[in-house]
Amino acid sequence: MKIAVLGTGIMGQGVVRTLLREGHDVTAWNRTRDKAEPLADDGATVVDTAREAVAGAEVVVTVLFDGEAVLSVLRDATGAADATSASGQATATSASGQATSGPVWVQASTIGAADTARVVGLAAERGVPLVEAMMLGTKKPAETGKLVMLAAGDPELLARVQPVLDAMGAKTITAGDTVGQGTALKLAANAWIASVTAATAQSLALTSALGLDPQLFLDAIEGGQADTPYAHLKGASMIAGEYPAQFALDGLRKDVSLMREAATAAVAADGTGTGFDTSLLEALAGLYGKASERGHGGDDIAAVRTAFTG
Closest CA to 182 of 136, 129, 140: 136
* 117 in the same domain as 6: yes
Residues 8 and 156 in one domain: yes
Q: Which residue has the higher pLDDT, 96 or 63?
A: 63
Average pLDDT value for the chain: 93
Domain enclosing residue 37, as ranges: 2-179
| Residue among 59, 31, 61 at smallest CA distance from 46 | 31
Residues 175 and 29 in one domain: yes
Handedness of CA 156, 158, 163, 164 (dihedral sign): positive
The reported pLDDT for the residue numbered 264 is 87
> For residue 75, what are the contacts with CB-CB under 8 A and spacing of at least 6?
122
State whether 149 and 22 are in the same domain: yes
Displacement of CA 205 from its chain's centroid (Å)? 29
Task: Looking at the structure, tell me whether residues 285 and 155 fall in a common domain.
Answer: no
Confidence of residue 94 (pLDDT cuts 50, 70, 90): low
Task: Please identify, among 151, 179, 207, the residue that sits at the C-terminal boundary of a domain.
Answer: 179
Angle at 185 between CA 181 and CA 186, to 5 degrees: 115
CATH (domain of 53):
3.40.50.720
Residues 209 and 114 in one domain: no
For residue 82, name the pLDDT band (cuts at 50, 70, 90): very low
Do 260 and 282 contact (CB within 8 A), yes or no? yes
Regarding whether 56 and 160 lie in a shared domain, the answer is yes
| Tally of domains in the chain | 2
Distance CA 103, CA 78 (A): 11
Question: Is 304 buried (19+), middle (13-18) or exposed (0-12) by CB count in 10 A?
Answer: buried
CATH number of the domain residue 280 falls in: 1.10.1040.10
Contact, 249 vs 300, CB < 8 A?
A: yes
Q: Are residues 172 and 254 in the same domain?
A: no
Do 164 and 196 sit in the same domain of this protein? no
- Whether 30 and 169 map to the same domain: the answer is yes
Kindly state the average pLDDT of the residues 128-149.
97
Co-location of 153 and 195 in the same domain: no
Same structural domain for residues 157 and 272? no
Q: What pLDDT does 310 receive? A: 67
This prediction's pTM: 0.90
